[in-house]
Structure 1
Amino acid sequence: MDRVTVTPEAVAVIGKLKALHGALAFHQSGGCCDGSAPMCFPAGEFKTGAQDIYLGRIEDCDFFIGAAQFEYWSHTQLIIDVVPGRGSGFSLEAPEGVRFLTRSRVFTDAEAAELEAAGPPPRGAD
């Protein structure tokens, strides 16, 4: 069961960004700038630590979320989408006239049990 997934529209934007910038990484923001928007950075530019939870990979890009945000969203699958418009943050897609957006769906009881059995996801410092 994936904790994070991506829409076909976002796949296209990620592909374009990878062609322009090389390897990428994402962090589900919970702070200033774009509020709770997923932020896209060149891989290695955003330093993760013990307070960052590794949710998985989307399009061969690591995806992290802050521990406090994870507590709010742990019962949902994050679905990374893209919409027209510019965000106000530092995410790489801003100059492209689009912004990433997180949608979510609640895990089913069976999915939640599967995730519980797998144990907690690793932290960025692991």
Structure 2
Amino acid sequence: MDETHDEPRVLATDQALELIREIQQDHPDILFHQSGGCCDGSSPMCYPANEFMIGNHDVKLGEIGGVPVYISGSQFEAWKHTQLIIDVVPGRGGMFSLDNGRERRFLTRSCLFGGGEACMIPSVRQ
């Protein structure tokens, strides 16, 4: 949790936690990264932890299902007033993301801190 908020910076839906467990059957040690690069948008990328180098300016938002979630420093500056909710939707994941080829992909949703919107998304967990 952040010192200025009593709400966690990142949450996950039950569907996201289920897909994380599925991916961990093939890749036990994973992480998420939300970047500001060409492959971002609303899709957090899921990588094997030993194949992704966390940058000096990346910010750890927290963990979902025991998996760390990072965001680039520039994205954090733009999104620091929002809570991120990792969800799952039908479709293909990013080319290098571990959700690719599973016909479901991770999706980042967000709401302003204090807005109460996270409570409106069904089955949200830390």
Shorter-chain TM-score range: 0.7 to 0.9
Query: Pick from 73, 86, 91: which aligns with 1:85?
Result: 91
CA distance in 2 between partners of 1:88 and 1:55 (Å): 21
For 1:71, what is the secondary structure of its paired residue? helix
Paired residue for 1:97? Answer: 103
Give the structure with the higher percent helix. 1
Query: Pick from 30, 35, 46: which aligns with 2:36?
Result: 30
After TM superposition, the structure 1 = structure 2 runs for residues 60-79 of structure 1, keeping only pairs within 5 Å, are: 60-79=66-85
After TM superposition, the structure 1 = structure 2 runs for residues 2-13 of structure 1, keeping only pairs within 5 Å, are: 2-13=8-19
Paired residue for 1:42? Answer: 48
CA distance in 2 between partners of 1:63 and 1:97 (Å): 22
CA distance in 1 between partners of 2:34 and 2:94 (Å): 15
Residues 30 and 36 in structure 1, CA contact (< 8 A), matched pair in contact too: no
Q: Deviations over 1:82-123 (max 9, x none)?
A: 1001134311011111111000111018xxxxxxxxxxxxxx
Aligned length: 109
1:20 and 2:26 matched: yes
Residues 92 and 101 in structure 2, CA contact (< 8 A), matched pair in contact too: yes
For 2:51, what is the secondary structure of its paired residue? coil
Paired residue for 1:120? Answer: none
CA distance in 2 between partners of 1:35 and 1:104 (Å): 12
CA distance in 2 between partners of 1:37 and 1:88 (Å): 7
Q: 1:44 Cα shift?
A: 2.2
TM-score by length of 2: 0.81
Unaligned runs of 5+ in 1: 110-126
TM-align CA RMSD? 1.4
* Higher mean C-alpha deviation, range 60-69 or range 41-50: 41-50
Q: Deviations over 1:11-52 (max 9, x none)?
A: 110010011111110001221124342000111211012110
